[in-house]
Amino acid sequence: MSDELLIPLGLGKHWSCTEMRSFFAAKGKVNHDYKTAEIGDIILFDWDKSGDCDHVGIVIENRGSEIVVIEGNTCGDNYLETCVALKTYSVNYQYFSCIIDMSGYMEDGIAEPNRGEIIE
């Protein structure tokens, strides 16, 4: 996304996952009911259980008991060999931190994403 899009929405160029959670929590858009995740929602992870968010993914499918997410930096600890990948998680996955509900968030004439269609 360009700065022209991000900055009017209150987002800067550099943003940690924890800052993202705080920003959307203040708008009432954060929850922990992973069964409610919808296409386009953001999932934050807390790998070390510290309370800080460490990783982010975007929901592309909700199968009821599983959530399919697209993520970057997913090929292990060697950051020189990272990739973008689809991953499937149980809705009870212990390292989820929260969901950011993106429905209705788009503002100022920016189109709402289509939440009901997966393009293959």
Element (H, E) at 23: helix 17-25
Q: What sign has the CA pseudo-torsion 47, 120, 41, 13?
A: positive
Question: What's residue 120's pLDDT?
Answer: 46
Domains of the chain by start residue, with CATH? 16-100 (2.30.30)
pLDDT at 18: 86
Q: Residue 77: its pLDDT value, please?
A: 66
99-111: average pLDDT: 67
Residue 48 and residue 11: Cα distance in Å, rounded? 26
**pLDDT tens, 31-85?**
999 999 999 999 999 999 999 898 999 999 999 999 999 998 887 666 667 788 8
The confidence score (pLDDT) of residue 16 equals 82
Residue 3 pLDDT greater than 60, yes or no: no
Residue 34: Cβ-neighbour burial (10 angstroms; 0-12, 13-18, 19+): buried
- 108 has a pLDDT exceeding 50: no
Closest among 2, 4, 53 to 24, alpha carbons compared: 53
Judge whether 96 and 45 are in contact, CB under 8 Å.
yes
What is the rounded distance in angstroms from the CA atom of residue 100 to the CA atom of residue 116?
17
For 22, which DSSP code?
H
pLDDT at 12 over 90: no
